[in-house]
Structure 1
Amino acid sequence: DRQLLIVADEHVDPEFGTGAVKVTPAHDPNDFEIGLRHQLPMLSIMDTKGRIADTGTQFDGMDRFEARVAVREALAAQGRVVAEKRPYLHSVGHSERSGEPIEPRLSLQWWVRVESLAKAAGDAVRNGDTVIHPASLEPRWFGWVDDMHDWCISRQLWWGHRIPIWYGPGGEQVCVGPDETPPEGWEQDPDVLDTWFSSALWPFSTLGWPEKTPELEKFYPTSVLVTGYDILFFWVARMMMFGTFVGGDDTITLDGRRGPQVPFTDVFLHGLIRDEFGRKMSKSKGNVIDPLDWLDMFGADALRFTLARGASPGGDLAVGEDAVRASRNFCTKLFNATRYALLNGAHVAPLPAHNELTDADRWILGRLEEVRAEVDSALDGYEFSRACEALYHFAWDEFCDWYVELAKTQLAEGNAHTTTVLAAVLDTLLRLLHPVIPFLTEALWQALTNQESLVIADWPEPSGFEPDPVATQRISDMQRLVTEVRRFRSDQGLADRQKVPARLGGMDGADLSTQVAAVTSLAWLTAPGDAFEPSVSLEVRLGPGMNSTVVVELDTSGTIDVAAERRRLEKDLAAAQKELASTTAKLANEDFLAKAPQKVVDKIRDRQRVAQEETDRINTRLAGLR
C-alpha cells in the first residue's frame, strides 16, 4: 500500500466532472508539470515495451491494454467501480505511422538549453539581419522563439548521427569529437540526435565548417532560404539558432575581415502542395501525386510553371491535373506564337522610330515595359505567383490573343517592321519566363536570336519605352468594339469566322479610323457592296467617358438557317429555364437559407441571375427570328 497525496492545482478545471483528477507525473506532460510544482514523486509503472513493471502488484508483466481490463475487473470485484458512465471526448496521441496510441513515459534524455540561442534567433529578425517573407508570418516566428522550451535532442532510433557521448565502466562519461579516439572499453550512448539537430547544421557544415574553406568564404551566408511554412519552427528556427551561435567563429568572420553572420538574409516561406480539393496528400487517402507521372504527361516546364504560379507567400496550393494541363496549353500557345513570328522572318533588330510604329505596336511595347517592371517588383518581394500571373495574362490575353492577330493584319498591309516588334516582345518575354519555363524558352530564344544560350543571357533592363496613352485608348476601344460585335454575331446565330458584310459608322468620331482594317478582320466582317442592305445593327459606346458611338450594321440575310437556329435556341432556352427554376426554388426554401453558408447562397443567387439573363436574351432572339 502507498499513501496518496492530494494537491490543489490551477491546471484542473473545477467545472468539469468532480473537479478531481489523477496525477501520474511520469506518464503525462501536464501531470509532469504539476508534479514539478508540488514536488511529487515521479513513479514509472511501464517499461519500454508498454508492459506494467515495478509496481509490486499482480499486474506486473501485463501488456498495457491487458492491464487496463484487469485493473477494472479487480476494482469491480472490490466494489470500487462507480456504475454511472458519462462518455466524453479526450485527446490521446497516436503514432502517425502505425496508428498506435502513444504512452508518455519519463526517461533520461539529452537536452539543449535554448534560452540564449532562441534570443539570438529572434534578435536576428528583429534587427533586420534576416527578413521573413511574407511578413505576416513574423508573429508566428516570434511566438516560437520568444517562448521556446529546452530542446530534447536524443532519439531512440536506428538511424541518425550518434550522440558523441561515451560511458566508462565506472559510470564516467565523456564527449568524444570526430577526430578523437574514445578510451578503450568505453561504450557509446545508443541514442541518435534529433533529425532537426542534424539539419540545423546544414548551412555551414556542408561548406566545410569548422575548417576554413573557399566554399565557406564564397557561399556563406546563404542569400535566400526557400522552404515551407510548416517547418518554420522545426528547421528554420534551429538553423538560425545554430547559425548565430557559430556566427562569430573565425571561420565564419574570415579572421575578423567581416562581422558575425546569420545563416541566411532572407527566408521565403511557401505553402503546402495539396490535392485539387485542398486536402493534405497522404497514402491512406490515395491522393498522393507522383511528380514523375506528371512530368511524363505534361512536361517539366508545365509542372514547374504550375507550382511557381501557385507559390503565393505562406498560402497553400491546391493542384490537380487541370491546372498542369492549363500550363501545358500555355506553353503550346507560346510555342505557336514564336513559330508564327519565325515563319514570318522575325529577328531581333533595333526598333523603328516611334512615329513609324502603329497604335498596336506602341500599345504592346508599352504593356511589355509595364509587365517587365511588375515582374521585377514581384520577384524582389518574393511574390512568384504575382510574377507568373502577370506574365501569363500578358503573353496569352494581350500578346497572343490580340497583338499576334493584329500583326497578321499589319503584315497583310505591308508593315514590314511588325516582325521586328514581334521579335522584340518575344525576346524580352522569353527571358522573363525563363526562370519558370526553362526548357521551352531556351529552345525558342535560341531559334529567335541565334545566340548561345538564354541561361547566360542578361535579365531584361528597363527599355525606356513609355506607354502611349492615345494608342492605348485606341486599342482598348478597338478591343471592346470587336468583342461586342463577336458577341452580337453569336446572338444572331452566326458561326465563328463566318464572314458577313458590315458597315461601320462613327469610326472617325471615335478616333478609330486607323483601326477599320483591324476591326473588319478580327470581327470576321467584309466590306459592304453596292447592294448592301443591313438586316441587323448594333451600337457600341466607346471612349474614356463612353461618349462616342460606333454603329455596326450587318447583312445576315441568307447566312442563317432560321429553322435550325430556332431549334438550337429553343434547346438552349429549355436548359436556361431549368437552371432558373432550380435556383429560384432553392432560394425560396427558408430552411436552406437558414442553414447554408452565405458563400453558397451568394453563388446560387449568381447562378439565378445568369440564368435569368440568358432566358431573356434567348427569348429576345427568338422573337426577332424571321
Structure 2
Amino acid sequence: MLEKTFDFSTAEKRIYDAWEKSGAFKGGQRPEAEPFTIVLPPPNVTGSLHIGHALNHTLQDILIRFERLRGKDVLWQPGMDHAGIATQMVVERQLDEEGISRRDLGREKFIERVWQWKEQSGGMIFNQMRRLGQSCDWSRQRFTMDEGFHEAVLKVFVELYNAGLIYKDKRLVNWDPKLKTAISDLEVEQREVNGHYWHFKYPVDGEEGRYVVVATTRPETMLGDVAVAVHPDDERYQDLIGKTLTLPLVGRKLIVVADEHADPEKGSGAVKITPAHDFDDHMVGKRHNLENINIFDDEARTNDNVPEKYRGLDRYEARKRVVADMEALGLLEKVEDTVHMVPYGDRSGVVIEPWLTDQWYVNAAELAREAIAAVEDGRTKFVPKQWEKTYFEWMRNIEPWCISRQLWWGHQIPAWYGPDGETFVAMSEEEARKAAHDHYGRDVELVRDPDVLDTWFSSALWPFGTLGWPDENDPFLKRHYKTDVLVTGFDIIFFWVARMMMDGLHFMKDVPFHTVYVHALVRDEFGAKMSKSKGNVIDPLELADKYGADALRFTLAAMEAQGRDIKMSEKRVEGYRNFGTKLWNAARFCEMNDCFGLGAFDPASAKLAVNKWIIGEVMKTVDKVTSSLEAFRYNEAAGAIYHFTWGTFCDWYIELIKPLFQGDDEAAAKECRQTAAWVIDRILVLLHPFMPFITEELWQALSDQRETPLILAQWPHKDDHLIDAEAGAEMNWAISLISEIRTARAEMNVPAGAKIQMLLSGADARSKTALENHREVIMRLARLESIALHEGEAPKGAIQVVLGEVSVFLPVADVIDISEEKKRLEKNLAKLEKEMAGLRGRLGNEAFLAKAPEKVVMESRQALAEGEEKIAKTKAALKRLDAME
C-alpha cells in the first residue's frame, strides 16, 4: 500500500542509487538499436551547481530519458574541464594561506598540488547533478587533462601546426596584469564605471598657436601615441591630413591620418591613436602601417619606451603625473565627467590591459569556412533558428584565435626552441630532439615553451576526444560520432560551439552534432538578472531540498519556452510539488479501489463512453508530448502532460467514474478499474523524463508484475484507432456543461451546499443523449436538484449559460438575493477600480520608476495585471445579474 505522501527526501537517493547500480545509465547496452548521443558541456572542475547548470542539465536529461524510453541506445557522455585560470587560482589561494607562492614550489610541484586538489575536491558538481536525477553514463567520465585526452590535444596542435594553421605572432591581447596571462573575451567582464574624459591639446607642427584637441579616458596611454585620426570627410581637418603634430611630454612626431574610425560628431572629431594599447587603434594602425609602441610591462607598469621620469610607474600613478604635467604646460583644455565601460578580468578583478605580446594563434578564418558552410547547408541546425544569425556574424568576422596562456596548469604547448630560436613542434620531447638533431646535425639543448593552451582549445575536441579519438577504431567513436544534440547557452556559441564545429569538421570530416539547442537565461521572478549583489540568486539545491528534485525539474522544463527567458520563482516550484502530490493521491485512490493487478487490458475493448474518451485523450497527449520533445518545445510537452494529468485525469475522469466503483454493474466497474490503471501507467511513462523519481516510485509500487524499472520501460505510441470521436464529443459536452454551471455558480456567489434546478432549451438529439447518459454525474458534480427540458423565454431570476446550440437556465432567485449580490459586487468593483487607479498613477510616474527598486516596480505591474483581471470578472458577473432582472 502506498504511503500517504511521497517522501522525496529519502526516496530520491534510494531510487538514484538503484538506477546507477543496475547499470541503467550505461550506453552500449542496445547494440542493435539506433544510437542517441549527447555530450555534457563539461563543467569546470572548480564548479558547483547553479541555476543555469540545473536548467542546462535537466533539459539534456529529459531528452536522454525520452530517447531511452523510445528504445534507443543512448549515451550521455559526462566529463569535466580542467579550467586553467580558475583552478590555478584556487590552488594559489591555498598556497597563499600557507605563505607559499607557486614559484617557490616550482612548476612540477605546483602541478602535483593541483592534481591533489582535483582528486580531493574536484567533481563536486557531479554529485550535485546526481541529486537532480541526471542519468549520465558515469562509467565513461572524462577529464580534459586525462592522459588519453591529452594525447588528442597534442595531436591536434601538431597537425594544425604542420598544416600551417597554428603559428606564433605578436598581436594585441586581453592581458591580465595580476594573473600575468592573456585571457579570452569570455573571461573579460565589462563594468560600467564613473570616470573622466581628459581633453588634451596637441600642437600642430609649423603652425604656432594651433592645436588639435583629443579626448581620452586613459591619459597614461598618450605616452604610446603614434598618430591622430580624423574622418576623411571632416572639413575642419582636411589641411592637416598627412601633416604632423608633436606629442607633448614625449616629443614624438604624430602623423594625422584620415580614417573612418574617427567620428566627426563625437568630441572634437579627432582621435589619438595608440596601436599597442587599444583594439580599435590597433586596427587603425594596421590600415595605415603605424608603429606599435608598447609602454607597459606584464604588471601594467610603464617600461623603458616612455621618458625616464615616467618609467616604472603603476599605470594609475602614470595617469596622475601625465595629467598634472599636461595641465602645467597649459595643454589640458578641460575635464568632463563620464560613465563608461571598463574591461575587468572576471577572475582577478583587475582592469584588463590591451597588450602587445608574442602568442600562439590558430588561423580561425580558414577553419571557419567549412563550419559556416555546414550550418548554411543544414548539416547542423540551431534551435531556435535565430541563433544561426549570431553564429554567422561571429564566424564571418572571425579573428585569429589566441590559444596560449601564461599559466602552469593546463596542456603545455608541445613546442621546443633550439639555441638560435628555431621551433620544433612534436608529440614528445624525444620527437622534438630527433627533429632538432636532423636540423642541426648534432644534439643541442632544447627549451620547451612554458605556456599552456587556452582551455577552449582542449574543450573544442570534446565531441570526439571523449569518445576515444585519436583511436579511430574505438567502437564508441564509430557508433556515437556525430552526436545528436548539443544543449547550451547562447554566451558560448562562439567560444565553444563554433570551435567544436571547426575541429570536428577538420579532424572527423563531419559535424560534431546535427542540432544545437540554445536555451534561455534563468532570471528572478521579476525578470531581473541574478547576481550576488542584488541578493536574488536562486540556489537549485536548496529548492530541491525543500520541494524535491522532481518539482524543480518540472518547473525548469515547463518554463523553457524557445526564445524567452525564464522568470524563476519559488512559488512555481511549490506549485509543481503540489502537482506531484496530486498524482500521488490519484494513484492512492486507484490503488485503494483495486485498479491494479486485474490482468492485461486491451484499450480497444473498452465499451463505456467515459473510458473510450479518456483513452482517446491519452493518445492525443502521447502525440503532443512526443512531437513537442522532438521539436525541443519543452514547455509545450510539460504543459500537455500536466494538463492531462491534473485536469483531464484527476479532476474529471476519476470524478466521473467514482459512482461506477460503488455501483452494481461489475463489468463496468472492472472496465473502469483497468482503464484507470492503464492510464496511470501511460502518465508515469510520459511524465518520467520530467519527474523521474516520483514516477519510478509509483511504477514499482503499483505493480509487482513489471518487466523493467520505469527508466527502461517503453514509450507509448499514438494509435488513432483508439480515438473515438463520438465518445469524445459526448464526454466533452458533459464536462463543458458542468464547468459552465460551476463558473456561473461561483460568479453569482451561490452557496456551495445549495442544490439548484437546471432547465435545458434548444437541445438536439445528440445533446439529449449525452444528458441522459450522464444525468447522474452531471447532477452530482454541478450540484443540481433536478434537470428538465424547457421551451420559451428565459425564466425570471435565472442565470443563463450558452453551450453551443443549447441554452441553460439556472433559477437562483430563491437561493441568492440578487439586489444584495449586485450591491456586493458593485462595492468590490469600486474598491478594485480605486486601487488600480492608484497603481496606474504610480506606474505612470517617471520619478517612481526611476527611484523605486526594480522588485517594487515589477510587483506593482503584477498587481495591476491581476487587479484588471478581477475587474473584468466582476463586470461579467454584474452583467449576468442585470440579465436576470
Normalising by structure 1, report the TM-score.
0.86
Give 1:590 deviation, angstroms. 13
2:616 matched residue in structure 1: 366
Greater mean deviation of Cα atoms: 273-282 or 418-427? 273-282
Q: Does 1:31 align with 2:281?
A: yes
Aligned to 2:418: 168
Q: Deviation digits for residues 478-504 of structure 1, max 9, x if unmatched?
A: 2232223223433554443x2525455
Among candidates 536, 543, 547, match of residue 805 of structure 2: 547
Q: CA contact under 8 A between 2:606 and 2:612: conserved in structure 1?
A: no
Call closer, same or farther: CA 1:623–1:205 in 2, change over 3 Å.
closer
Distance 1:299 1:494, change over 3 A: same
Asked whether the equivalents of residues 363 and 475 of structure 1 are also in contact (C-alpha less than 8 Å), the reply is: yes
Which one of the candidate residues 580, 586, 596 is aligned to 2:833?
A: 580
Contact 2:463-2:483 within 8 A present in 1 as well: yes
Structure 1 gaps of 5+ residues are 248-259, 529-533
Question: Which secondary structure does the structure 2 equivalent of 1:110 belong to?
Answer: strand
Contact 1:274-1:316 within 8 A present in 2 as well = yes
Deviation of the 1:26 alpha carbon = 0.3
Aligned mate of 1:201, from 461, 469, 474:
461
Partner of 1:209, secondary structure, is coil
Q: CA deviation at 1:589?
A: 11
Task: Report the Cα offset of residue 70 of structure 1.
Answer: 0.7
The residue number in structure 2 matching 1:519 is: 778
> In the TM superposition, what is the alpha-carbon distance from 1:617 to its structure 2 partner?
4.2
| 1:333-361 residue CA offsets vs partner (Å, 9 max, x unmatched) | 11111221121121363246667222x22
Amino acid at match of 1:239: M
Match of 1:220 among 474, 477, 481: 481
Please, which of 690, 706, 721 is the counterpart of residue 465 of structure 1? 721
Q: Which amino acid aligns with 2:467?
A: L
Which residue does 1:255 correspond to in 2? Answer: none
Q: Which residue is 2:730 aligned to?
A: 474
One of 393, 396, 407 as aligned partner of 1:157: 407
Aligned equivalents of 1:352 and 1:32: distance in 2? 73
Say yes or no: does 1:441 pair with 2:695: yes
Assess, with a 3 A threshold, how the Cα gap between structure 1 residues 588 and 45 changes in structure 2: closer, same or farther.
Answer: closer
Contact kept? 1:535, 1:556, Cα under 8 Å = no
Residues 1:296 and 1:605: Cα distance change in structure 2 (over 3 Å): closer
Residue 516 of structure 1: CA displacement?
1.1
Q: Secondary structure at the match of 1:539?
A: strand
* Correspondence list, 1:235-384, <5 A: 235-247=496-508, 260-347=509-596, 349-351=600-602, 356-358=607-609, 360-384=610-634
Give the CA deviation at 1:244. Answer: 0.5
Verify: 1:232 aligned to 2:493, yes or no.
yes
Q: Which residue of 2 aligns with 1:257?
A: none
Distance 1:159 1:289, change over 3 A: farther
* Aligned match of 1:500: 755
Size of the alignment, in residue pairs?
Answer: 596
Distance in 2 of aligned mates of 1:313 and 1:608: 28
Tell me how far 1:468 sits from its aligned partner: 3.2
Paired with 1:385 and 1:477, the residues of 2 have a C-alpha distance of 28
Structure 1 pair 539–81 and aligned structure 2 pair: CA distance change class (3 A): closer
Cα distance, 1:204 vs. partner?
A: 1.1
- Per-residue CA shift, 1:116-169, capped at 9, x if unaligned? 310111122223222222222222222222221211111233432222222334
- The one-letter amino acid paired with 1:309 is A
Q: Which whole-Å CA distance do the structure 2 matches of 1:527 and 1:202 have between them?
A: 70
CA distance in 2 between counterparts of 1:328 and 1:31 reads 56
Which stretch shifts more, 409-418 or 393-402?
409-418
Cα distance in structure 2, aligned partners of 1:319 and 1:590: 23
Which of 324, 327, 330 in structure 2 is aligned with 1:76? 327
Give the letter for the 1:204 counterpart: F
User: What is the CA-CA distance between 1:303 and the residue it aligns to?
Assistant: 1.3
Once the two structures are overlaid, the 10-residue window that deviates more, 397-406 or 286-295, is 286-295
Paired with 1:431 and 1:477, the residues of 2 have a C-alpha distance of 29
Displacement of 1:111 in angstroms is 0.4
Contact 1:569 1:618 in 2 (8 A): yes
Alignment match, 2:673: 419
Q: How big is the shift at 1:102?
A: 2.2
8 Å CA contact 1:500–1:555 kept in 2: the answer is no
Contact 1:51 1:61 in 2 (8 A): yes
Higher relative contact order (CA 8 A, sep 6+): 2
Q: Tell me, what secondary structure is at the counterpart of 2:262?
A: coil
Q: Measure the CA separation in 1 of the matches of 2:511 and 2:464.
A: 10
Identity of aligned residues (%): 40
1:611 corresponds to 2:871 = yes
Kindly tell me: are residues 590 and 50 of structure 1, through their superposed partners in 2, closer, same or farther at Cα, counting changes over 3 Å? closer
Give, as a single letter, the amino acid of the residue that structure 2 aligns with 1:500. Answer: K
Report the CA distance shift for 1:353/1:24 in structure 2 as closer, same or farther (over 3 A). Answer: closer
Paired AA for residue 341 in structure 1: C
User: 733, 736, 743: which one pairs with 1:487?
Assistant: 743
User: Is residue 2:441 matched to residue 1:191?
Assistant: no
Q: Conserved in 1, the CA contact under 8 Å of 2:758 and 2:808?
A: no
* Contact 1:379-1:387 within 8 A present in 2 as well: yes
Contact 1:121 1:240 in 2 (8 A): yes
CA deviations over 1:350-391 (Å, ceiling 9, x no partner): 246667222x22222222111111122112212222111111
Unaligned runs of 5+ in 2: 1-250, 434-443, 788-794, 850-857
Residues 438-475 of structure 1 deviation map (CA, whole Å, 9 limit, x = unaligned): 11111222234430311111111123334333333333
- Once the two structures are superposed, the pairs formed by residues 380-399 of structure 1 within 5 Å of their partners are 380-399=630-649
Q: Distance in 1 between matches of 2:837 and 2:529?
A: 36
1:432 maps to 686
> Aligned in 2, Cα 1:139/1:473: closer, same or farther, shift over 3 Å?
same
Q: CA deviation at 1:226?
A: 1.5
What is the CA–CA distance in structure 2 between the aligned matches of 1:331 and 1:143, rounded to whole Å?
44
Q: Using the TM superposition, name which of 387-396 and 411-420 deviates more.
A: 411-420
C-alpha distance in 2 between matches for 1:589 and 1:295:
37
Q: CA deviation at 1:265?
A: 2.0
For residue 107 of structure 1, give the secondary structure of its aligned residue in structure 2. strand
Deviations 1:500-537 (A, max 9, x none): 25455457863221121111111233459xxxxx9964
What is the DSSP-based 3-state SS (H/G/I as helix, E as strand, rest coil) of the residue aligned with 1:337? helix
CA-atom RMSD in angstroms: 3.6
